[in-house]
Amino acid sequence: MTTTPGNEPILKKSKSWSFDVQRLFTSLAIAIGILFIIFGVRASRTGRDESGLPTAIERMSPANGDRVLRQSQIIVDFAEGYEATLFIDGIELPVTRLDELTSSGQQAAPGAQVELPATAVFDPGNFIISFQPQSGAMIEEFTQGEHEGKVNYWKIVDGREKYRTYIWKFDTD
């Protein structure tokens, strides 16, 4: 308690909380802003959700709608246990399995150089099918414009007869 020089008590005025309209509107605006941020984050689609890829395809290049160079490599990476064939602009590309590339039929030694054929190549160890346009291939380079890629893929245990199809488009400059 505080006193004056004449020992009279000084009464302190307590701070009363009056209704403040500006503070109310500011609090409401902040709360609404936080709700919009939460809603925006929960409603957004990015990465795998946005790509629209089937669950059997982990990644691919070029992706649907991509713009690439004329000599760009096509790569489709599948989940474990899948095999595939590749079509570009309606042309089915012959597929060579990476494990069948040596003339003796045995796998190449680690680090050994292996000449890749001018076909689509399937790597059974990584479940990737790829194609590089090159001289001697069915497609030596991509012409300028839109191209359609298609993969027929199937679980190895189910067999080729139960294939599914994924189609995408990409552009070349």
Domain ranges of the chain: 49-172
Confidence of residue 53 (pLDDT cuts 50, 70, 90): confident
Average pLDDT over residues 128-157: 94
pTM of the model: 0.66
For the chain, give the mean pLDDT: 84
User: What pLDDT sits at residue 25?
Assistant: 87
User: What pLDDT sits at residue 13?
Assistant: 56
For residue 62, pLDDT over 90 is answered with yes
Peptide bond connecting 124 to the previous residue in cis, omega within 30 degrees of 0: no
For residue 19, pLDDT over 80 is answered with no
- Residue 139, judged by CB atoms within 10 A of its CB (0-12, 13-18, 19+), counts as middle
Q: For residues 46 and 112, give the distance between their C-alpha atoms in angstroms, rounded to a whole number.
A: 40
User: Is domain 49-172 in CATH 2.60.40.1220, yes or no?
Assistant: yes
CB pairs under 8 A, 24+ apart, for 24-28? none
Confidence of residue 144 (pLDDT cuts 50, 70, 90): very high
For residue 11, pLDDT over 70 is answered with no
User: What pLDDT sits at residue 83?
Assistant: 94
Confidence of residue 79 (pLDDT cuts 50, 70, 90): very high
Q: Which residue has the tokens 């080729």?
A: 160
